[in-house]
Amino acid sequence: VCIEAVEALDMDRLERALNHAATELSRLHLLENVVAPLMTRIGERWSEGSLRILNEHMASTVIHSFLWDLLRGSGGNGTRPPIVIATPSKQWCTLGALVAAVFAGDIGWHPYFFGPNLPAEEISAAARMVRARVVALSITFGAEPVHLGRELKRLHLALDPSVRLLIGGRATKTVRSTIEDIGALHVDSLSMFKSALEGPAAK
Ligand code: B12
């Protein structure tokens, strides 16, 4: 249903289908088995040439707004532990980060979501300002590993050493050795993210 709505540029239908899925499914299931595969499929169809850029843009816009609605209100009353979530410099795909933010909110964290393309010093400033013990990054675009590796090293140096850095997303493997060098954790899935956030050192 979702992909048909994207083909037909039917934003209302896509929104209705997503809202319906949100009431029927657990958050984890919704995010990992509906939202992510839909975007992957759109990416494949776009590569094959059977969907246009505008179909992808329409879907990204609707899904961004849908996820933002799920995220809204997950700040709580000040008792939840803060987590900073963003994508590093030159990383423009925010939906994975937004998925991680919605999920973190769902399991009791206060997500501070800052969107795409954030330089290292802004990410570290955010962590300082909201007193976050955990920073989570999403990496989707794999074609600039040298720049990205440098940004991650700069972030590592700028962050307080007690802040944990978790990194997820489909292109994380392009900077695997840097992630090891700086002692960050590669979180492969939302379940692994959950374990990391529930571990003893997390909050
Ligand atoms: C939508 C999209 C865009 C949109 C993003 C809109 C937005 N607001 O986010 C826009 C238009 C900005 C875009 C731009 C570009 N894109 Co693009 N895009 C995509 C697409 C179709 C879907 C990505 C997406 O949103 N997925 C949905 C999310 C929810 O899924 P996800 O990111 O995989 O996240 C899941 C997990 O990875 C995980 N996760 C992700 N992050 C994190 C973080 C944490 C902490 C945790 C725990 C988990 C986690 O959780 C999610 C749920 O399971 C992909 C195709 C694909 N196969 O991914 C291409 C894709 C990523 N794009 C690609 C390209 C080439 C580009 C452009 C260069 C295109 C261009 N020529 O201008 C630009 C610039 C990219 C850049 N520099 O960042 C390539 C990247 C190839 C590569 N070398 O890495 C892809 C793979 C398409 C392709 N097959 O060629 N893109």
Q: What is the pLDDT of residues 9-43, one digit of tens each?
A: 999 999 999 999 999 999 999 999 999 999 999 99
123: enclosing H helix or E strand: helix 120-130
Q: What one-letter code names the amino acid at 46? A: W
Across 77-81, 157-161, 195-199, the highest mean pLDDT is recorded for 157-161
Shortest-distance Cα residue to atom 91 of ligand 1: 93
- pLDDT score for 199: 72
Please report the pLDDT score of residue 77 as a whole number: 80
Give the pLDDT score at 78.
82
Which two structure tokens, joined as six digits, stand for 95?
């939906």
In one letter, which amino acid is 42?
Answer: I
Least Cα distance to 196 among 127, 141, 148, 135 occurs for: 135
**CB of residue 145 inside a 6 A radius of ligand 1:** no
Ligand 1 lined by 138 (C-beta under 6 Å): yes
Q: Supply the pLDDT for residue 51.
A: 96
How, if at all, do strands 164-168 and 134-138 pair?
Answer: parallel
Nearest to 199 by CA among 180, 178, 185: 185
Q: What is the pLDDT of residues 48-62, one digit of tens each?
A: 999 999 999 999 999
- Residue 92's pLDDT band, with cuts at 50, 70 and 90, is very high
| Range 176-198 average pLDDT | 96
96 vs 116: CA distance, rounded Å: 10
Mean pLDDT of 141-150: 96
User: What burial class does residue 167 get, using C-beta atoms within 10 Å of its C-beta: 0-12 exposed, 13-18 middle, 19+ buried?
Assistant: buried
DSSP 38: H
How many Cβ atoms are within 10 Å of 48's Cβ, its own excluded?
Answer: 8
186: part of which helix (H) or strand (E)?
Answer: strand 185-186
**For ligand 1, is residue 124 a contact (CB within 6 Å)?**
no
pLDDT tens digits, one per residue of 98-114: 999 999 999 999 999 99
What mean pLDDT comes out for the span 118-134?
97
Nearest CA to ligand 1 atom 25: 95
Look up the pTM and report it. 0.96
Whether residue 203 is predicted with pLDDT greater than 70 in this model: the reply is no
Cross-strand partners of 82: 110
